[in-house]
Amino acid sequence: MTFNEVVGQEHVGQTLKNALAQDRLAHAYLFCGPRGVGKTTMARILAKAVNCLVSPGDHPCGQCEACTSIAAGQDIDVLELDAASRRKVEDIEPLIDSSRYLPQRSPRKIFIVDEAHMLSKTAWNALLKTLEEPPAHVLFIFATTEPSKVIETVRSRCQRFDFKRITEKDIAGKLRRIADAEGATVDDEVFAEIATRATGGMRDAETLLDQALG
């Protein structure tokens, strides 16, 4: 998957592509927006763009060992933390320790923290020194549905992107492409109904489509 394929978030994808082309990536990003609109997907695409072993840049190959392992959430240099279930300072300390060491295979060591607003204040404070003086090889991506709950000292050190709810038209169009790729025959009315029920979230729409096709 590429930046252009994240439905409804072209403004984010294009800005990140420009930053990659100009070699002007920030050391920390804050991806904000409703659930299911592509924040974690975009984070993984950015990770692939930075660490692709074949064609790093705005068109990662998607096939090399780095790209495939990042997509699966299993890459040795891209560490993911779900703060909804791991929010304490002892959960964040291994991440801080890891940031001190160079990546094993890739140009950057990348940390993706989902539901970042769930981190405790003590966890944020433990992470703050690393954010204030980040090693050159480290990139942080925080994804959150509630940016106001991320402490201000962290927000001020991140480049923020606001993800939008996806239009029903865009959701229906993406569902049509998915169904066509799977060889499924689905009426347009079904796509329209799913898009309405998804209330702007692509992930929920894809789940509903899976149920309909099942």
Q: 22-25 long-range contacts, Cβ below 8 Å, gap at least 24?
A: 25/50, 25/139
pLDDT by residue for the chain (214 residues), tens digit each? 889 889 999 999 999 999 999 999 999 999 999 999 999 999 999 999 999 999 998 889 999 999 999 999 899 999 999 999 999 999 999 989 999 999 999 999 999 999 999 999 999 999 998 999 989 999 999 999 999 999 999 999 999 999 999 999 999 999 999 999 988 888 899 999 999 999 999 999 999 998 888 7
Kindly report the length of the chain.
214
Q: Is 186 within 8 Å of 212 (Cβ atoms)?
A: yes
Can you give the pTM of this predicted structure?
0.92
Question: How many whole angstroms separate alpha carbon 62 and alpha carbon 153?
Answer: 35
- CA angle, 68 as apex, 15 and 77 as ends, to 5°? 75
Q: Smallest Cα–Cα separation from 95: which of 80, 74, 115, 75?
A: 80
Q: Is 214 within 8 Å of 48 (Cβ atoms)?
A: no
